[in-house]
Structure 1
Amino acid sequence: MDILSPHALDLESLLLSLFMFTMYNVFIWLKLKNDPIYTIQGATNLARIAWVVSIMEDKNEILAVQTLRNSTMAATFLASTAILLSVGVLSLTGQAENIGNTWHALNIFGSTEKSTLALKILVLLINLFIAFFSFSSSIRLYNHVGFMINTPCTDGNYSSSMTFVAMQLNRAASHFHFGMRAFYFLIPLVFWIFGPLLLVLSTIAIILVVYFLDRTPRLYSDYMTPFGIKACKL
């Protein structure tokens, strides 16, 4: 316990921040159980299912490849960004002694120990690696969907194939979504370097911003009706 005592306030602030961000995501998940289009992610899940049905029924392979390529490129770019940021964070470890005083200028309540700064950098790296693996898993699944969606049907019944392809496509999107969540949480972790109070305040701010981005605009939610009807085939 003596080892953790210098970092007590910072660790408590980190746990509080993680708890708030996790509870927000649990809240969104529970809301989606009752209202599938409560967030834009839920709405696009229905849209992706309808898209798979349309592509496999109309045999529009070129459109499928182009759309999946765009999704793969986006995930590839963000995975590369996560690795580059990880390298940048690692480079800070060699300069921590010189720039630590600047970072701690606003750190009124938290620890200014070198070991605390090392802990913060370690948490930043873990967050970035989570984002990298999430985006990498998304790329893998998008590539699998690219093959499956163009597989010819031998018995004339696409129903089971469509269901499996739609499930894999939404799984790929879920991994991408989880990677974006890790990127969003990167903002409070960066503010944590300047003090535990800023970590908590920035977490509250990012939750409010993400909630605004997540919500499906109710005024335009009726556009999801045809997608829902098309998706009901599965």
Structure 2
Amino acid sequence: MTYVEGFVTPVPTAARDAYIAHAKEAQALLREAGVRHMAEHWGDDVPAGRTTDFARAVQAQDDETIVFSWFEYPDRAARDAANAAMMADDRMTQMAATMPFDGKRMIHGGFTALVEQGSGTGGYVDGLVAAVPRANRDAYRTQASDAAALFLDHGALRVVESWDDDVPDGRVTDFRRAVLAGEDEAVVFSWIAWPDKAARNGGWAALEASGRMTPPASLPFDARRMIYGGFATLPLD
């Protein structure tokens, strides 16, 4: 199964073009290091939540936009080797010194895919992060697999649900604090890829009208602490 390095980053809204240029420059070096796929998405429909949300997860300011991104590897060994190569690469060190965002508030972690259905990247994604009791791992995978099939039936291209494997504590922010995860809970990093925003909105509307979605009270985790939002795919190629 795919190994995912997930990121959530607050980026000054005015620095969108600078961020794209930075990501494009980094992509070439990341591919050299062994990253199989790199995806960057700009916040477009990212709601405020009552308990948690993406903005609070990274202490975003009013003039910042949330970026939801990830790297994909064939396995953790490939991820670890890539990270080691990047840390030893002077070009990456130089790029880190000129990042167009506050790296101290970026949250990141390594995740092992639990569910992978469909294929393709698309122009829009729903990004989700949740805290799931570790004892409910199998129940979560079953529920997520069933939900993925429904999304694909309603126009989604690909659904990936990944379970925490190497999610570090941060000094300022981190994934666990983002969803108020307890000691007995794992962090899940997930996305749904759609062809575009119109397909996403139509797919969700059709699903909600069908009555086939699992009610929040029946989910194997506390949906009130899940953070989610819609993100437009940034052009890197």
TM-score with structure 2 length normalisation? 0.23
Higher normalized strand content (fraction of residues): 2
Larger Rg: 1
TM-score with structure 1 length normalisation? 0.23
With a CA cutoff of 8 Å and minimum separation of 6, indicate the structure with the bigger relative contact order.
1
